[in-house]
Amino acid sequence: MYIIQTAKLTKYYGKVRGIESLSLNIRPGEIFGFLGPNGAGKTTTIRILIDLIRPTCGHARIFGLDVQKHSVEIRKRIGNLPGDVSLYEHMTGDEFLNLMSSLHNNHSARRKRILAKRLDIDLSRRIKTYSKGMKQKVAIIQALMNDPELLILDEPTSGLDPLVQREFYNLLKNEQDRGKTVFFSSHILPEVERVCDRVGLLRNGILINVESIDDLKSKRVRKLELILKEAVAPERLHLPGVELTRIEGKHVEFIVHGHIGELIPKLSNLPLEDVVFPEATLEDTFMKFYSEEEEA
């Protein structure tokens, strides 16, 4: 049985497309990344799963239950982190979390305290005094504190500093080790590569592909930038397994297709000042999938 299952899920806001015919199957115990640029339809999909909005057509199931008919039963077993975190500003972090856990009939504060310690946040302060990152931490605790079977997280690392992000990734891995399933949306490719088992690529409301992370990495576009001590003749830049994309004086850019190991010895023949492997952008990855689709 799949934990999350959607079939031809479609949502239109008037004439504007949110998502179109989205079919997804999320397996138990996996961390699934839902990757796409802003406006791709990630939040729309999550809001349908939480039953905040209703699909135009198609259906979605969580734990085998229809998300509209059994929304309360489903929400007892999930932790959700909304995309734009808004909390009751007049409350303290502790009061807010107590209110949220009381709606789950969970009156144990142990897990809340552990999570607060791991994320390093003082819950006794009023929420209005918190920074954006601190509010995000409270929202993360809210999603995790009731020990849910499934976590649905909409851009969870937004506003978190790198150290807290790392701790958050550890938290997700811990949850996975405990048999929990995680579904999270992101527009940051390295983040998804780092924590996810599989990834769904969404663009303009359409699911382009679902890949394992290993497959995604093997298909990943890798860039190479060389800064040379002096300009060289273009024919010297015809290297194995790379495609020359730009020459600007001593600055040269390539796209790497083959194994990097074969390339390194050849580079030593050039008058190198510096070698840079810039991180591939989400756009580069999508372009790769588009070109594959077109070729197909």
Partner 1 sequence: MNRHLFAFGLRSSRGGLIAWCVFFILYGILMVYLFEPMQGIADTIAEYAEQFGSMFEIFAGDIGSILNPDGTLSMGKWLSLEYLSLWPLIMAIYAIFFSGNIVARDVDKGTMDMLLSQPIKRVHVIMSKFAVFPVVLIMVAAASLFGIVMGMGIIDTSSDLTGICLVFLPAILLPMAVASYSLLFSCIFLDPRKVLMAAGSLTGLFYLLNILARTVDSLDWLGYLSIFHYYAPGEIAADLSVNWLGIGVYVAIIIICTAASIYVFQRRDISA
Q: Is 142 in the site for partner 1 (CB under 8 A)?
A: yes
Stretch near partner 1 under the rule CB under 8 A, chosen from 76-84, 184-192, 204-212, 254-262: 76-84
Give 103 or 227: the residue with its C-beta nearer to partner 1: 103
Q: Is 47 in the site for partner 1 (CB under 8 A)?
A: yes
> Closest by alpha carbon to 78, among 94, 67, 92, 93?
67
Which residues neighbour 219 within 8 Å (Cβ) at sequence distance 6 or greater?
211, 288, 289, 292
Alpha helices in 254-296 (DSSP H): 260-267, 282-295
Query: ∠ CA(72), CA(75), CA(77), 5° rounding?
Result: 120
Q: Please state, in angstroms and rounded to a whole number, the distance separating the CA atoms of residues 199 and 209.
A: 8
Minimal distance in Å, beta carbon 143 to partner 1? 8
Per-residue burial over 142-169, b = 16 or more CB atoms within 10 Å of its CB, e = otherwise: bbbbbebbbbbbbbbbbbbeeebbeebb
The answer to whether residues 252 and 225 touch, using CB atoms and an 8 Å cutoff, is yes
Q: Which of 4, 87, 171, 196 binds partner 1 (CB under 8 A)?
A: 87
Give 80 or 186: the residue with its C-beta nearer to partner 1: 80
Tell me, by CB under 8 A, how many residues bind partner 1. 25
Q: Rounded to 5 degrees, what are φ and ψ at 53?
A: -130, 160
Q: Is 66 in the site for partner 1 (CB under 8 A)?
A: no
Give 48 or 224: the residue with its C-beta nearer to partner 1: 48
Q: Is 38 in the site for partner 1 (CB under 8 A)?
A: no
Q: Is 17 in the site for partner 1 (CB under 8 A)?
A: no
Stretch near partner 1 under the rule CB under 8 A, chosen from 97-105, 184-192, 211-219, 265-273: 97-105
- Positions that interact with partner 1 (CB under 8 A): 47, 50-54, 72-73, 75-76, 80, 82, 84-88, 90, 99-100, 102-104, 139, 142
